[in-house]
Amino acid sequence: MNRLILAAALAATAATSAQAAPPPKPKLIVAISVDQYSSEVFKRYRPTYTAGLKRLANGVAYPTGYQSHAATETCPGHSTILTGRHPAGTGIVANSWIDAKTGMSVYCVSVPGVAEKSARGPQNMRVTTLGDWIKAAQPRARSFAVAGKDRAAITMAGKNADGVYWWVDGTGFTTSSYAGPATPRIVKPAEAFNAKLMSAWKATPPQLWPAASPTCAALSKRQQFGQLEVSGAMPPDMAKGVTEGDEFLSSKRFNDAMHASPTFDAAVADFAIDLIEREKLGRGSATDVLAVGLSATDYIGHRLGNGGPEMCVQQAALDATIGRLIDRIQALRIPVMVMLTADHGATDASERHFDEGGHGYRIDDKSLMNRLNDALEAELGIVWTPLNTEDPQQLYVVVDSEEAPRERILHSAVAWLKAQPEVRAVFTRAEVEAATVPPGTPADKLTVLQRFRESYDAERSGDIAVAYAERASYGVPNAVGETVAGHGTPWDYDRQIPILFWWPGAPAETRDQPIETVDIAPTLASVAGITPPVPVDGDCLDLGGNCRK
């Protein structure tokens, strides 16, 4: 009976899609990524949205989409959104990885061979993006990106963007000649925007947080996270007193608090609106692309978790901010397609999960990794550290020698890890590389090993992949502003994210299929009237007869 009901529901959805008018070809595609916006958070707050997020959720909504890979971090996740490729294809397997030749850490959007610290670009990306494809097919098309984080803007912008901007503390929005044009025409308007913003903030220090609604205020509760006690008051402890002093704009305390507040997203949205207006995006003969990365939800989730009043206030503010952006586009009468998703999900702080009757684990990952290396040194009789453990989920063998051969290090490390109560699965590089993902495997049916395979790159991935207990929080915070919760695991709460499509006249459809972020780029390409010119891992989603046969 259940199968018959499911089949009927799917048939009804398919019939509705078939009857709906196809989306009109837009003059502007706006691709929004909300960093650390899990399906859990979306579903929890969906009934409360009244502005932009309500409008988007009332389009074609997939509440439970997937970042189907294991490396649920910012850079890998963003690299999938407009490329149609898993991290195994984009080459962006983590926020940072270890270079096998030098043993040095490589930041995902650093520029190989360039010593300049501010150099940022897509050179580590092995693929192109939607903006690149449309520009190749429609020579008058333009592609821009703006985000709170450099790695969000760059990985969505691609190889041939017309302008790529991200936030730098004390400066405002900036770019790099390695990411896109850094000519006066691109840089000067950003400098003018920054000067106006900083002047306004200096004259009237920003109220980083709006007042909490009664619903949000009811979530306030004193909480212990590791060794850190937080009051649960609004505004949060980390935001108090940060605008004191004449030079507060350049202070670390202010900028840390500003990142983890609704003010950060508001600044990005203001810059996006300014960019649309000054570049006249969506008013040419071709389809322009604007990628927007909103980062505050991630900072708030890391510093404060997602189960308290802070995330409640953030969701209301995010809803308003996105509404303001869409309202401005509509006021300009631009034919638009808006897509919103996330680079990854997250879990709340383990202590709050535990307090609410769930499972919660706080893992001191640094201590765990030190114990692992100490055990290996004792077993192998060596006096040097055998594993690089900067990322406890991706471990690298440091040296392969006669004294301690790689295979012996791997064998001993895997055995030790499997004996730890915090560990749920351990795979060697060979096991991950040998895994296959049959075409058409739904994202919700992938094994843990297959999820690691979707993140695997032979030149960049670690020698050992580790999955720890579900709902674990890593590290032991002891000061305001330190991480209390996070993401990065292969578990569903980190992989599941909403994927929303909206355009004027869009049908209101909520679809429960487990689609993936790699489906977004081929879908938006079809809406723009083109076919991806390169292989993609995803499929075109039928928004109403838009997919080419």
Strand 105-107 and strand 336-341: pairing? unpaired
Among all chains, which residue has been given the structure tokens 């900072």? 299
What is the Cα–Cα distance from 504 to 509, expressed in whole angstroms?
A: 14
**CA-wise closest residue to 33 among 58, 71, 59, 67:** 67
Among all chains, which residue has been given the structure tokens 């850490």? 105
**The two three-digit tokens of residue 245, written as one number:** 């002093």
CA distances from 172 to 87, 166, 290, 303, 330 (A): 30, 8, 19, 22, 27
Say how far residue 188 (Cα) sits from the centre of its chain: 29
Burial class of residue 221 in the structure, from the number of CB atoms within 10 Å of its CB (0-12 exposed, 13-18 middle, 19+ buried): middle
What is the Cα–Cα distance from 290 to 137, expressed in whole angstroms?
A: 17
What is the Cα–Cα distance from 123 to 233, expressed in whole angstroms?
A: 44
Phi, psi of 326 (to 5 degrees): -70, -40
How does DSSP classify residue 442?
-
What type of residue is 427? Answer: F
Burial class of residue 4 in the structure, from the number of CB atoms within 10 Å of its CB (0-12 exposed, 13-18 middle, 19+ buried): exposed
- Check if the beta carbon of residue 454 is closer than 8 Å to that of residue 88: yes
Q: Which residues contact 363 (CB under 8 A, 6 or more apart)?
A: 422, 468, 469, 472, 473, 474, 475
What is the Cα–Cα distance from 93 to 429, expressed in whole angstroms?
A: 14
> Which residues are marked as active site?
74
**The two three-digit tokens of residue 367, written as one number:** 């201590």
What is the Cα–Cα distance from 287 to 136, expressed in whole angstroms?
A: 11
Question: Which contacts of 367-373 are long-range, i.e. CB under 8 A and separated by 24 or more positions?
Answer: 368/392, 368/420, 368/422, 372/413, 372/416, 372/417
**The two three-digit tokens of residue 205, written as one number:** 């220090």
**The two three-digit tokens of residue 176, written as one number:** 């790099």
Strand 28-34 and strand 423-428: pairing? unpaired
Please report the DSSP string for 316-374 in residue order.
Answer: HHHHHHHHHHHHHHHHTT--EEEEEE-S------HHHHHHTTS--EEE-HHHHHHHHHH
What type of residue is 413? Answer: A
